[in-house]
Amino acid sequence: MADKIKLDIISDVVCPWCIIGYKRLEEAINELGIADKVEIEWQPFELNPQMPAEGENLREHVLRKYGSNREDSERARTNIKVLGAEHDFSFNYSEDMRMVNTFDAHMLLDLAHEQGLQHQLKQRLFAAFFSEHKDVSDRQVLLAEAGSVGIEADTSVFEDESRTVKIRSLEQQWRQLGIEGVPTVIINRESAITGAHPVENYKQVLSQVLEAN
């Protein structure tokens, strides 16, 4: 196979289904033994682009946005914890956990892509937010996480006007293509699969792509 399968994964770092979906996709790739035939690029998507700097209590946010009461919220959290544990990812929810603005995280992920370390940073930010209660809207937290995976960055990355325009344009591009839910995996810029699908679904889709090539 001359060309790799290009997977653009549209997601947000505060989306629990995005990391669950990725872990399932990763398992599918590993079970098929095609890690060397797949190229992944993470694409920006903000679940809450209007979220203020101070953020919002996560339980209150879910109630306001989705109408979920406390019992619904607890059931959802328990389910997500179980699904995460199946793939060795820890969801560590707490009463004071807050939903935050993620634009700066996407700015940093774009820089990370230029340095060949985007995937490493994306995984680090998922863990920072869901497992370690870190504020992934705080620029110093973001820079520390970037440094932990070998990315060279300073606060100037967040003030880069051309990068800001790029991220806004990409976000608009995906929405204009009708993508309203994440995770969404774009395959070779030709087809898409939205949601955190079972491992077998991902294996089937990837196998079909391989056969077509």
Domains defined for the chain, CATH in brackets: 5-212 (3.40.30.10)
Cα separation of 131 and 109, whole Å?
Answer: 19
Q: Which of 3, 1, 25 is nearest to 119 (CA)?
A: 25
- pLDDT, average across residues 52-61: 93
- Give me the helix-helix angle, 58-66 and 70-85, nearest 10°: 110
Compute the mean pLDDT over every residue in the chain, rounded to the nearest whole number.
96
Q: Which of 63, 81, 84 is nearest to 72 (CA)?
A: 63
- Stretch (H or E) spanning 62: helix 58-66
Share of the chain above pLDDT 70, in %: 99
pLDDT score at 11: 98
Cα separation of 170 and 176, whole Å?
Answer: 10
Task: Indicate if the pLDDT at residue 113 is higher than 90.
Answer: yes
pLDDT score at 121: 98
Share of the chain above pLDDT 90, in %: 95
Cα separation of 213 and 207, whole Å?
Answer: 10
pLDDT score at 53: 87
Cα separation of 26 and 48, whole Å?
Answer: 26
Task: Indicate if the pLDDT at residue 1 is higher than 70.
Answer: no
pLDDT score at 212: 87
Task: Indicate if the pLDDT at residue 93 is higher than 60.
Answer: yes
Tokens of 117: 């370390």
Task: Indicate if the pLDDT at residue 3 is higher than 90.
Answer: no
Q: What share of the chain is helix, strand, coil (3-state, %, to 5)?
A: 55, 10, 35
- pLDDT, average across residues 26-33: 98
